[in-house]
Structure 1
Amino acid sequence: MVKDVRQEVIAIIAEQAVLEPSDVSLEQSLEDLGIDSLGLVEAIFSIEEAFDIQVPFNANDPDASGFDISSVAAIIGAVEGLIEAQKA
């Protein structure tokens, strides 16, 4: 069964932000949603578990990790890219 990546990532982010998934928009950043660095790390772990992927994320240097966390849409795109790369 293929999961809907967008819905699943939004659900994970919403859980970290203690919001309903319907309250999360693609344009929002994690900061907009009130997710701190610990919440980000927990979200990354949840994403890795949900999609059985390895996210190249360095919490000490997020910009150098190559995993775009600038917005919800960017995270979804990055996860989709990792899923595709894993299939190859």
Structure 2
Amino acid sequence: MSETVKDKVIEIIAEQAVLDRSDVTMDATLEDLGIDSLGLVESIFAIEEAFDIEVPFNANEPEQSDFDISSVAAIVGAVEGLVAAQHQGA
């Protein structure tokens, strides 16, 4: 797992949850961290901007998304996959 992707995703999530980075654990869910649907959307926008990627996420139907938001670790893994795919296509 790339530390830079992991660190940046945790930083974005911590900022949205108004928490210290140390409070954001890999097994935490967004619900555990107090992030609501608006915070989720803002987090996704921030992730897209930070990594110059497009996250396949539909805020209106999150359960239909290909982007796993079940935990911080799942989000980090999904972002790493999108970043890797982008670099392969470049």
TM-score range, shorter chain: over 0.9
Matches within 5 A, 1:61-72: 61-72=61-72
User: Is 2:33 the partner of 1:36?
Assistant: no
Q: Give the AA of the match of 2:18.
A: V
The CA distance in 1 between the partners of 2:6 and 2:27, in whole Å, is 13
Deviations 1:11-69 (A, max 9, x none): 00000000000110000000000000000000000000000000010001112110000
Tell me which residue corresponds to 2:16: 16
Tell me which residue corresponds to 1:55: 55
- SS of corresponding position for 1:59: coil
The share of aligned pairs that are identical, in percent, is 71
TM-score (norm 1): 0.95
Q: What's the Cα RMSD here?
A: 1.3
The CA distance in 2 between the partners of 1:63 and 1:80, in whole Å, is 20
Could you list the structure 1 runs, at least 4 aligned residues long, displaced by more than 4 angstroms after superposition.
none
- SS of corresponding position for 1:49: helix
Work out the number of aligned pairs and report it: 87
